[in-house]
Amino acid sequence: MEITSLAGAGLNTTTLRQTDDTLGKDTFLQLLITQMRYQDPLSPMENEAFLAQLAQFSSLEQMQQLNESFQSVIDFSQSQANSGATSLIGKHVRAAGEHVEVGAEGNVELGYFLSQPAQAVEIRVVDESGATIKTLVQNDVDSGSNTIEWDGRDAGGSRVPAGTYSFEVTATDTTGQEVPVTRTVTGLVEGVTFRSGQALLLVNGREVPLSDVLDVYLPEE
């Protein structure tokens, strides 16, 4: 009786180790059993090699189960976050952002967060073309959340046209070193939309990712 060996066909330990990580456990077991069934009886698989195969299978199965568990946790967390986002409708939030809406009249609040106290803070209001139209300065500013009122006028004192503007903030300490700063905006949450599994709040006419929200406030009576 002729005994067929798969050694010449290249089905060996090395081949199994190079199998794609997405190999299913049933396929893995089938390959292992087939290898044992057709192995050369004059050169059977050693115990160490067999144990190594089983260890590889065990590790592969555990990784697949771990990935599935992680994905379940991620999906659940995302679902909970999205459900909670709808409860923010009608409330005021402070979020990371740099765009503000300017109306025909009234002041505009510009906010920023400092990780440490700053000796000087420069706030530059920029129009849609990227030009700086007004520069505001604050001195000896504490760490944490800070705001400054902009009257909606340019450097010449003229009221700027209504529309969307952005602002840039630079802060330095007593040694002249730059202090990390995060620009913030505040506004009423008017609605929530979902895109690619992410909740986006509609604040001041702009979409704000839920992950950018820093504080939530009850609306003033």
Cβ neighbours around 26 below 10 Å, total: 8
- Quickly state the pLDDT bin for 147 (edges 50, 70, 90): very high
Q: What is the mean pLDDT of residues 49-63?
A: 65
DSSP reduced 3-state for 161: coil
Q: Provide CB contacts within 8 A for 97, sequence distance 6+.
A: 183, 184, 185, 206, 208, 212
> Could you give the CA distance from residue 74 to residue 80 in angstroms, rounded to a whole number?
10
CA distance between the termini of the chain = 94
If you compute the radius of gyration of the chain from its CA atoms, what whole number of angstroms results? Answer: 31
pLDDT at 21 > cutoff 60: no
Residues 62-81: what's their mean pLDDT?
Answer: 59
pLDDT of 1 reads 43
Residue 72 pLDDT:
59
Q: What pTM, to 2 d.p., does this model score?
A: 0.61
**Pairwise pLDDT comparison (72 vs 103), residue with the higher score:** 103
Q: Which two tokens stand for residue 69?
A: 């568990």
CA trace torsion 141, 143, 145, 147 (10° rounding): 10
Query: Which residues contact residue 57 at a Cβ distance below 8 angstroms, ignoring those fewer than 6 apart?
Result: 25, 28, 29, 32
Amino acid 138: pLDDT: 97
DSSP label at 153? B
3-state secondary structure of 96: strand
Maximum CA extent, the chain: 103
CB 96 within 8 A of CB 184: yes
Residue 212 pLDDT grade (very low, low, confident, very high; cuts 50, 70, 90): very high
29-49: burial string, b at 16+ Cβ within 10 Å, e else: eebbeebeeebeeeeebeeee
How many CB atoms are located within 10 Å of the residue 178 CB? Answer: 10
Show contacts of 148-155: CB within 8 Å, 24+ apart: 148/109, 148/110, 148/123, 149/107, 149/108, 149/109, 149/110, 150/107, 150/108, 150/109, 150/110, 150/123, 150/125, 151/107, 151/108, 152/102, 152/103, 152/105, 152/106, 152/107, 152/108
178 has a pLDDT exceeding 50: yes
Indicate if the pLDDT at residue 17 is higher than 70: no
% pLDDT > 70, the chain = 62
